């Protein structure tokens, strides 16, 4: 049971952005995409979601997915959730099941939406307008909307980017629990390598639109791979509680120039 894609390609005009990418993302797990800016993380998520043109094959549980299948079974949350809206927090979440909304709103649907808000501790904000809350809170609202949709595949582009430390941990813990409980495939782009190491079941390292490494954190986050993907020298060690920790030391290319 997994999401898999084969020979996925994306090009903007004559510029190739993703080149012959193939991978398999297990259900019930978090798969983190890592790599420097421009490596192809966001493009890969959008291509899998069917939001941009691509070539290749995408399967969910061995069945090839059409564009209509992707829209039905895949939820995508972009990195930028800053758009203001006069809708309430509850209304924004309910829009996650727009096809189920009618002239009369079933109480059961409202209960489901409130339950999704409770995952990230937002029930007290349900009557507030979206443009009255902080950017970090808006990000949590859209995460609640994505979970409310109950997709089989959840794709998140930097879901912790606007959050404080506590909420970064809270979001990743809850996403991990949701994946395990619901059997959801979750793929997320991440810049924080230490959080990726702590919460992701599997990491994929991208560079120039190609997969350069994939696997468990200890196999992906090596000094050699970090130099290759990010152009840095880094120390990788185990913390006091056994967690993998990455300590960036210097920009390797600056050192090579004697700067």
Question: What average pLDDT score do residues 150-174 get?
Answer: 95
Mean of all residue pLDDT scores within the chain: 92
Question: How does residue 258 score in pLDDT terms, banded at 50, 70 and 90?
Answer: very low
Per-residue pLDDT at 213: 96
Between 22-31, 74-83, 157-166, 192-201, the lowest mean confidence (pLDDT) is in 74-83
Per-residue pLDDT at 4: 97
CATH number of 2-221: 3.40.50.300
Per-residue pLDDT at 1: 75
Q: How far apart are CA 240 and CA 148, in angstroms?
A: 37
Percent of the chain with pLDDT over 90: 83
In which order are the strands placed within the sheet that holds 185-189? 74-77, 153-157, 185-189, 30-34, 202-207, 210-215
List the structure tokens of 26: 């297990």
For residue 175, pLDDT over 90 is answered with yes
How many CB atoms neighbour CB 73 within 10 A? 16
Q: Residue ranges per domain, the chain? A: 2-221, 222-259
CB 62 within 8 A of CB 98: no
H helix runs in 95-201, sequence order: 107-119, 135-148, 165-182, 193-199
For residue 84, pLDDT over 80 is answered with no
Per-residue pLDDT at 257: 41
């Amino acid at each position: 049971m997994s999401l898999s894609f084969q020979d996925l390609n994306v090009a903007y005009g004559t510029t190739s952005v993703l080149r012959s990418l193939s991978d398999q993302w297990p259900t019930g797990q978090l798969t983190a995409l890592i790599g420097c800016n421009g490596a192809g993380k966001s493009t890969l998520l959008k291509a899998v979601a069917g939001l941009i043109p691509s070539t290749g094959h995408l399967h969910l549980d061995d069945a090839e997915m059409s564009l209509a299948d992707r829209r039905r079974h895949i939820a995508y949350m972009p990195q930028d959730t800053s758009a203001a809206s006069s809708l309430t927090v509850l209304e924004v979440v309910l829009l996650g099941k727009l096809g189920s909304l009618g002239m009369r709103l079933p109480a059961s649907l409202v209960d489901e939406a409130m339950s999704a808000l409770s995952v990230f501790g937002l029930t007290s904000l349900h009557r507030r307008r979206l443009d009255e809350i902080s950017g970090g809170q808006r990000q949590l609202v859209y995460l609640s909307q994505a979970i409310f949709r109950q997709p089989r595949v959840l794709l998140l582009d930097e879901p912790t980017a606007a959050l404080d430390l506590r909420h970064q941990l809270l979001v990743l813990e809850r996403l991990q629990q949701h994946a395990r409980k619901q059997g959801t495939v979750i793929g997320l782009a991440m810049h924080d390598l230490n959080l990726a190491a702590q919460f992701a079941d599997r990491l994929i390292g991208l560079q120039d639109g190609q997969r350069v490494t994939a696997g468990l954190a200890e196999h992906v986050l090596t000094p050699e791979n970090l130099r290759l993907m990010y152009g840095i020298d880094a120390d990788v060690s185990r913390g006091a509680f056994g967690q993998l920790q990455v300590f960036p030391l210097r920009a390797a290319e600056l050192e090579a120039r004697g700067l």
